[in-house]
C-alpha cells in the first residue's frame, strides 16, 4: 500500500540522516571531574557534542546525571571500540550508562481498548515522522481499531481480555513482545489491569496515560470523581507503570480549565485532548532517551 511504503521510506531516510548520531546517558555518584572526563573521552573518540544536559540531585553527595547527543563520522564502525573503551572509564566512576544510536530506532507496541484517540494521535505523529520509533504491533481487546492500524501496514492482534483469563492473555502478550522484539509498551487507554508478573517483565518500559492529574483521582472513573468534587481544572498524567497502581514515575502532566457547566461527558471530551498530547509528549521524550528514572521520579532532559 502506498501509505505504508511512504512511511517506510521516511523511516529509512531518518535512519540514514541520523546514522552518525549517538547518545550517551550516564548516572553515577556526583564527584568532581565527571564532565571533564566524559567530554574528553568523546573528543578523543572523534565525537562532537551536539546537545548536553546534566543534573545533580544534590550538590552535597547526590547523584549525577548526564545526557549527551553527539555526532561521529562513521559511527557504525567505531561504536564497538567506543563502548569498550567507555566501559573502563565507567567502572572507575561507578557509572550506570547507556549508548544508543540514531540508526537503531526503538520498537514500540501500542495497547489500546475501545477509545482510539490516543492511538490515533500516536499514529498521526508517527506518520509525520515525528515519533522516532518503529511501531511494531498494536494489541487490543477490541476489534475497533483493526482497520485503521492495518491500513498503515502495522500488524494488529486482537486478544480478548478479562480477569478470568488474565494469565493466558498476558502470556500471549509477552510472547508477542518477544516475537516483535519490542522495546517500549504504550498503554494508550488500555483498560485492563496488568499483573505484577507482566509489569516485572518490562521495567521502565511501559508508559501509561492516566486520565487525571495524579495523585488526584487514582484508580477508576476519574472524570466522574472530578465532576463530583467540582474541580475547576482537569488533567492527565503519563507515567511509567510499576506495581503500585498509578504510582509509577510521572513523565508528563497537563491540564485544561473546566467550569460548572461541564458535565461528565464534557470533561471526557476535554480530557481526550489533554490525554493525547500528554501521552505523545511522554512517548517522544522516552524515544529520544530524554527520560531517566531515579527514586520513583523522572529527570526529563527536554
Nearest to 141 by CA among 112, 170, 182: 112
User: Which is catalytic among the residues 134, 246, 262, 289?
Assistant: 246
Per CB under 8 A, 92 contacts a copy of itself: no
Window 261 to 300, contacts with a copy of itself (CB under 8 A) = 261, 269, 273, 277, 296-300
Which of these segments, 183-191, 193-201, 203-211, 257-265, binds a copy of itself (CB under 8 A)? 257-265
> For a copy of itself, how many residues bind (rule: CB under 8 A)?
56
Report the phi/psi class of residue 89: left, alpha or beta, with left for phi > 0 and alpha for psi in -120 to 50.
alpha
Residue 161: CB minimum distance to a copy of itself, A: 24
Q: How far is CA 156 from CA 3, 105, 144, 147, 170, in A?
A: 16, 20, 11, 9, 16
Which of these segments, 74-82, 133-141, 153-161, 254-262, binds a copy of itself (CB under 8 A)? 254-262
Helix-then-strand count for the chain, H and E:
9, 13
Per CB under 8 A, 54 contacts a copy of itself: yes
**3, β-bridge pairs:** none
Going across the sheet that includes 184-187, the strands are 156-158, 133-140, 106-112, 184-187, 206-210, 233-240, 250-257
Residue 177: CB minimum distance to a copy of itself, A: 27
With H, G, I as helix, E, B as strand and everything else as coil, classify residue 101.
Answer: strand
Per CB under 8 A, 53 contacts a copy of itself: yes
- Contacting a copy of itself (CB under 8 A), which of 11, 90, 120, 174? 120
- Contacting a copy of itself (CB under 8 A), which of 5, 8, 17, 35? 35
- Contacting a copy of itself (CB under 8 A), which of 98, 181, 232, 244? 232
* CA contacts within 13 A on the Cβ side of 90: 16
d(CA 170, CA 176): 10
Question: Are the C-beta atoms of residues 229 and 213 closer than 8 Å to each other?
Answer: no
Per CB under 8 A, 52 contacts a copy of itself: yes
Question: How many residues does this entry show for the chain?
Answer: 302
Contacts of 56 (CB under 8 A, 6+ apart): 30, 62, 63, 64, 65
Which of these segments, 45-53, 83-91, 104-112, 195-203, binds a copy of itself (CB under 8 A)? 45-53
Which of these segments, 33-41, 131-139, 168-176, 197-205, binds a copy of itself (CB under 8 A)? 33-41
- Contacting a copy of itself (CB under 8 A), which of 36, 77, 84, 91? 36
Cell of 86: 567507555
Active site residue 246: yes
Looking at beta carbons only, is 186 or 236 nearer to a copy of itself?
A: 236
Strands 63-71 and 96-101, bridge-based pairing: unpaired
Q: How far is CA 285 from CA 49, 292, 302, in A?
A: 19, 10, 7
Residue 91: CB minimum distance to a copy of itself, A: 20
SS3 percent helix, strand, coil of the chain, rounded to 5, is 40, 30, 35
Per CB under 8 A, 6 contacts a copy of itself: no
Query: Which residues of this chain interact with a copy of itself, rule CB under 8 A?
Result: 3, 32-33, 35-36, 39-40, 42-43, 46-56, 59, 71, 120, 124, 130, 147, 213-217, 229-233, 235, 249-255, 259-261, 269, 273, 277, 296-300, 302
- Provide the annotated active-site residues: 246
Amino acid at each position: 500500500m502506498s501509505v505504508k511504503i511512504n512511511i517506510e521510506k521516511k523511516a529509512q531516510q531518518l535512519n540514514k540522516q541520523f546514522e552518525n548520531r549517538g547518545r550517551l546517558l550516564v548516572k553515577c555518584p556526583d564527584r568532581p571531574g565527571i564532565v571533564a572526563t566524559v567530554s574528553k573521552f568523546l573528543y578523543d573518540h572523534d565525537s562532537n557534542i551536539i546537545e548536553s544536559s546534566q543534573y545533580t540531585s544534590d550538590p552535597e553527595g547526590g547523584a549525577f546525571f548526564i545526557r549527551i547527543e553527539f555526532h561521529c563520522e562513521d559511527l557504525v564502525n567505531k561504536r564497538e571500540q567506543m563502548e569498550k573503551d567507555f566501559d573502563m572509564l565507567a567502572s572507575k566512576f561507578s557509572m550506570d550508562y547507556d549508548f544508543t544510536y540514531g540508526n537503531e530506532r526503538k520498537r514500540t507496541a501500542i495497547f489500546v481498548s475501545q477509545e482510539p484517540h490516543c492511538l490515533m494521535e500516536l499514529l498521526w505523529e508517527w506518520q509525520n515522522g515525528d515519533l522516532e520509533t518503529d511501531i511494531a504491533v498494536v494489541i487490543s481487546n477490541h476489534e475497533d481499531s483493526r482497520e485503521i492500524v492495518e491500513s498503515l501496514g502495522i500488524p494488529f492482534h486482537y486478544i480478548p481480555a478479562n480477569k478470568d483469563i488474565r494469565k493466558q492473555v498476558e502470556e500471549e502478550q509477552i510472547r508477542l513482545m518477544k516475537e516483535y522484539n519490542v522495546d517500549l509498551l504504550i498503554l494508550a487507554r488500555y483498560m485492563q489491569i496488568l499483573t505484577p508478573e507482566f509489569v516485572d517483565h518490562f521495567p521502565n518500559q511501559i508508559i501509561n496515560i492516566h486520565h487525571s492529574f495524579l495523585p488526584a483521582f487514582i484508580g477508576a472513573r476519574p472524570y466522574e470523581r472530578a465532576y463530583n468534587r467540582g474541580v475547576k481544572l482537569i488533567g492527565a498524567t503519563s507515567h511509567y507503570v510499576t506495581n503500585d497502581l498509578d504510582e509509577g514515575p510521572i513523565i508528563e502532566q497537563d491540564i485544561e480549565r473546566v467550569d460548572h457547566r461541564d458535565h461528565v461527558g464534557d470533561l471526557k471530551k476535554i480530557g481526550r485532548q489533554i490525554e493525547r498530547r500528554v501521552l505523545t509528549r511522554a512517548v517522544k521524550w522516552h524515544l529520544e532517551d530524554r527520560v531517566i528514572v531515579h527514586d520513583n521520579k523522572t529527570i526529563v532532559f527536554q
